[in-house]
Amino acid sequence: MAAEVLTVTADDRERGSAVFRALGQIEGVDLRWERMTAGDYLVDDGFLFERKTAGDFARSLVDGRLFAQAGRLLETPFRPAYILEGTAAQWRGLGVRREALQGALVTLMMVFDLPVFRALDAAEAARIMVYAGHQRLRLRTDAAPAYRIAKAKRRRTRQQRLLQALPGVGRDRAVRLLDHFGSVSACLSAGREELESVEGIGPKTAEAIFRTVNEPGAPYGAMTLPEDGMGLL
């Protein structure tokens, strides 16, 4: 019996990347591309991967894009994850403090409930996605509807946790924000007056949220990483 073909859909902006080329060389992978609003690679219409090189990760952390991207991943109907790609030398060469990277990883994994995988290069990143896809194919059962319900509840919980990371926002306020705006991205793009219109959000909290979301991050100083390059994961 022939092995089931694994479908991988890539964002069209990834078509020139080494990961895209590596996926195209793996037997049994049906590689497609389209414009995606979140994530870089969708595996078997279920696992959504955001792939970042060491440099991409550092830049997105410093300029504030990292957690906005995480919010968009959580709003999809898929199971999202990050793949961080880079050698020990590349991670050691970043101009970002080790503590800042650790804090970002803790937030992604513990607050947003987003798995983070490490890959040394593009080929290994491609293999991780294919391994995950084959596991999904093996575990697929007739209980898909129940799985989707559980997944939707988990996604709602992750969205609330993401909003709870904002200043002055606890569980109750996170629920109100999500109910009012309908999505994390809509909440993060809201103005001060829009935030104040939510029950329980006063002017001071609205101002603190707005500043946190919109003010650019300050550059971080140099860091020193251990010899394995990723003693962060």
**pTM (global) more than 0.75:** no
Which contiguous run of DSSP H or E holds residue 70?
Answer: helix 65-74
CATH number of 6-139: 3.40.50.10130
Tokens coding 174: 């996170």
Domain range summary for the chain, segments of one domain joined by +:
6-139, 166-214
Give the model confidence (pLDDT) of 67-91 as tens digits: 888 888 988 889 999 999 998 888 8
What are the Cα distances from residue 88, in Å, to 58, 119, 145, 219, 233?
14, 11, 42, 22, 13
What topology is assigned to 166-214 in CATH? DNA polymerase; domain 1 (1.10.150)
pLDDT tens sequence across 97-132: 788 888 888 888 988 889 999 999 999 999 999 999
